[in-house]
Structure 1
Amino acid sequence: MSRTPRVVSLVPSLTEAVAVTVPGTLVGATDWCTHPAELDVVRIRGTKNPDVDRIIGLAPDLVIANEEENRAPDLAALRDAGLDVLVTEIRDLPGALRELERVLTACGAPSRPRWLDEAAAAWDGLESPARRLRAAIPVWRRPWMVLGRDTFAGDLLARLGVDNVYADHADRYPRLAADELRTADIDLAVLPDEPYRFTRDDGPELFPVPAALVSGRHLTWYGPSLARAPEVLGAALRAALR
């Protein structure tokens, strides 16, 4: 019988995907890896400041990371220590589904998990929206930052009929002045609760258009939450437009 691989995850959504698919595989994860709630592993600080020495001390067979969430110098340090590092690149839904299958296979999953098929089916089953909306999607405040080009979250929203007005910006996460956002030609502002925790009292007041407060986990995480994401995000968008 082959030994269960020892895996450290530096990405919250990948942590959840591995934990529910190949239980017992993870030995380390970041402090931001909050799902599943019962996950009991060594914590190795954050995605941007992992404790490299502690990760090395765990002697994992594999470290899973993401080119956007994790810093290249940290990944280089892990490789220099002789660790195998798998780096994902996810810019849209099809890419997420492919990369998830690659990660899970590398972590010892014997087959494609049912939740991954359910996620693909949920998004494939969407009806064409009756109306397309132009939106700004802030992800931070002080300074204001929005989704720009080639983002996973932007692709999900586009599939739900919400077009990012900054999708053609040169930067993936442009920093904008508040006045520019306030006067943008948009129908809707989409405000997730992570990484910045936008609330009814923090963010919507800037915009003269409706603001949809959405689950950041369902908008930005690529993992089991993808199966319910169309339903959860769609409900939040509809509520904002009532």
Structure 2
Amino acid sequence: MPPRVVSLVPSLTEAIALSVPGALVGATDWCSHPADLDVTRVGGTKNPKPEQILALAPDLVIANEEENREPDLAALRAAGVEVLVTEVRDVPQAFRELARVLTACGAGTRPRWLDEAEKTWSELRPPDRRTTAVVPIWRRPWMVLGRDTFAGDVLSRLGVDHAYANHPERYPRVPLDELRATAPDVVVLPDEPYAFTAEDGPEAFPGLPCALVSGRHLTWYGPSLAEAPGALGEALRAALR
């Protein structure tokens, strides 16, 4: 029998559900994949409900140092629950952490999708010409990708250099006028955490190409990693035509 697992990380929820059927007993309200996931919902990533998690009597809670708050995790540990906290800042680290999580959740063998995803990224050859970008992740206030982020590494491996990669902060707030003044080749607008759409986002960058991309492909580390290079590359090429 696999351990009873509660996942507080949407991308890891998908990975566990596909790789260790029956292990998950709880997940956050934001855990949208797989679409037919049928487990108890325990609140959001930033505001999980400890009493609901404890009621599920989990053997293990899966968390992430960026997505989840330390006080919430400390409360679970104080109640006697084991908490595994992942840290993912680049693509190779994502594969290492995925393997660690799945092993902890009772996977007897390494899943095929993980091998296929890792092979896809190891064989990736970025275009000869590199592209500059601004990558907002929020508006009101405007926030963008800064240094040392998984999404930034994903884009870099696709030949995209984002303007704030060397900023002291990981997700700096930057005035819109300053973002426009960088004059990037493209503005990359993911649909999460802020849900940028064709009607909400591109109008702020008149005259600049905008690539609307799936946040799941840009920021999730799980089964979506296998298709992420193709999906993101297609969206970028369409914006730059």
Asked if these proteins are the same fold (TM beyond 0.5), I'd say yes
* Equivalenced residues, count: 240
Aligned positions of 1:68-107 closer than 5 A: 68-107=66-105
Secondary structure of 1:172's match?
Answer: coil
Q: Does 1:46 align with 2:49?
A: no
User: What residue in structure 2 maps to residue 238 of structure 1?
Assistant: 237
**Unmatched 5+ stretches in structure 1:** none
Q: What displacement does 1:203 show?
A: 1.1
**C-alpha distance in structure 1 between counterparts of 2:49 and 2:132, whole Å:** 41
User: What residue in structure 1 maps to residue 181 of structure 2?
Assistant: 183
Deviates more, 1:102-111 or 1:203-212: 203-212
Contact 2:95–2:114 (Cα < 8 Å) also in 1: yes
| Deviations, residues 4-61 of structure 1 (Å, cap 9, x unaligned) | 2100000000000000000110000000000001111000010000001110111100
State which of 118, 121, 141 in structure 2 corresponds to 1:120: 118
Q: What displacement does 1:206 show?
A: 1.9
**C-alpha distance in structure 1 between counterparts of 2:202 and 2:120, whole Å:** 29
**C-alpha distance in structure 1 between counterparts of 2:119 and 2:203, whole Å:** 37
**C-alpha distance in structure 2 between counterparts of 1:128 and 1:18, whole Å:** 30
In structure 2, what residue type is equivalent to 1:22?
Answer: V
User: What residue in structure 1 maps to residue 217 of structure 2?
Assistant: 218
User: What residue in structure 2 maps to residue 10 of structure 1?
Assistant: 8
**C-alpha distance in structure 2 between counterparts of 1:127 and 1:12, whole Å:** 28
| Deviations, residues 202-221 of structure 1 (Å, cap 9, x unaligned) | 11122232111001100000
Contact 2:46–2:67 (Cα < 8 Å) also in 1: yes
In structure 1, what residue type is equivalent to 2:208?
Answer: V
| Deviations, residues 154-196 of structure 1 (Å, cap 9, x unaligned) | 0000000000110100110000111111111311110001111
**C-alpha distance in structure 1 between counterparts of 2:20 and 2:190, whole Å:** 29
Q: Please, what TM-score do these two structures have when normalized by structure 2?
A: 0.98
Runs of 4 or more above 6 Å deviation: none
In structure 2, what residue type is equivalent to 1:49?
Answer: N
Contact 2:216–2:224 (Cα < 8 Å) also in 1: yes
| Deviations, residues 89-122 of structure 1 (Å, cap 9, x unaligned) | 0000000000000000000000111100111111
Contact 2:60–2:83 (Cα < 8 Å) also in 1: yes
Deviates more, 1:200-209 or 1:79-88: 200-209
Secondary structure of 1:4's match?
Answer: coil
What's the C-alpha RMSD, in Å, of the aligned pairs?
Answer: 0.8
Q: Please, what TM-score do these two structures have when normalized by structure 1?
A: 0.98
**Unmatched 5+ stretches in structure 2:** none
User: What residue in structure 2 maps to residue 140 of structure 1?
Assistant: 138
